Amino acid sequence: MAFTLLIKTPMKQFLLCLLIAFSLSGCNFPTTLPISDSEKPADNFARHFFDNLIKAQTDSCFAAMPPESQTNSNMGLIVGASKDLAGCTIKKSVVVENKATYLLSSGPKTAGYSLSYEYYLDKDGKSRIILFQTRIKQKEGAFYMTGFSGGYLTTSLEESSEFSLKSKAPFQYAFLSLIVVVMVFMLISLFFVLFGKMSAKKKITWTLIILFVNLPRFLIDWNTGHLGFHILAISLMGVGFMKTALYSAWTLYFSFPLGAVIFWFMKRSLLENENISPGPTTEKRLVGEPEAHGSIPNS
């Protein structure tokens, strides 16, 4: 009942929706990238190429390259990669990069694909993880492997890019503390706007100012500790986190709460203006009291 009374006005409902949207943003992150129907032929081509490397079918891998790339040096690379993967069996694979570019032309479809996979392998009873990156070209209905590379990983990309508080530098903890301070400061400011003695129009205006007028923005790469800033960057609530790719490092940021600071400087005048009653004032007179007439007599 009490909660219903708190959000019964449209302005409070508006603010509640904004807070809920912020709390839910960025909560769900996928663990693998999807492959669209138009990209499945290129995905099958890349997976088949990797299977042939494991099975030592080097001639098939060599034939999958474009004619201009079928050189002795590339054949040597294919043979070397096949020897490294000999005896491995695939347990599972995860798509970690999926980019496609299409060239507009009146002729046959021409496209390029950048597909990368995280393969979980088993060799002689030992588990291994390899990052396999490919560059594929589609021309006149045929697919060609224009480039590939691979390397073993000590841990999965998901584990290496997850958010953790362990083994961080003191300034990283300080940066995280500033994020919390800014968040609390803005929530307190919003509370005073919401329950302050102001008109609904002013409350909505100042809510938007506090939520969005936050700059400059300060960022930190949580894995490496590298710092950065953006002079012009407006964001909801002035704090947040993001990832530029599926398994990239976490980037945390906060912005100077300029809108909230301005509100606190103007808070007193805003409340004083609301306390002033609009319209002309009239003098109250007691019932039966005679009205004053004439001038003041000389003593």
Contact 184, 149 (CB under 8 A): no
Report pLDDT for 3. Answer: 37
pLDDT at 288: 53
Q: In the chain, how long is the greatest CA-to-CA distance? A: 127
Residue 5: the pLDDT is 39
Residues 244-281 pLDDT 10s: 777 778 899 999 999 999 999 988 887 766 665 455 54
The answer as to CATH 3.90.79.10 being correct for domain 37-160 is no
- Cα angle 125-120-138, degrees, rounded to a multiple of 5: 140
H helix runs in the chain, sequence order: 2-6, 10-24, 40-54, 58-63, 72-84, 157-160, 170-195, 200-212, 258-275
What is the residue extent of each domain of the chain? 37-160, 162-274
Here the contacts of 156-162 (C-beta below 8 Å, separation 24 or greater) are 156/118, 156/120, 156/129, 157/96, 157/118, 157/131, 157/246, 157/247, 158/31, 158/247, 160/223, 160/247, 161/223, 161/243, 161/247, 161/248, 161/249, 161/250
Q: At what angle do helices 170-195 and 10-24 cross, to 10 degrees?
A: 160
Q: Which range, of 4-8, 42-46, 195-199, averages the lowest pLDDT?
A: 4-8
Report whether pLDDT(28) > 50. Answer: no
Peptide bond into 170 cis (omega under 30): no
Q: How far is CA 74 from CA 45, 52, 59, 266, 286, in A?
A: 18, 15, 12, 70, 106
What is the pTM (predicted TM-score) of this model? 0.63
Read off the pLDDT of residues 32-61 as tens digits, 9 standing for 90 and up.
Answer: 788 888 899 999 999 999 999 999 999 999
User: Binning pLDDT at 50, 70 and 90, where does residue 9 land?
Assistant: low
Average pLDDT of 120-143? 92
Q: Do residues 151 and 52 touch, judged by C-beta distance below 8 A?
A: no
pLDDT range class, residue 79, cuts 50, 70, 90: very high
The amino acid occupying position 275 is N
Spatial CA neighbour of 249 closest among 223, 220, 219: 223
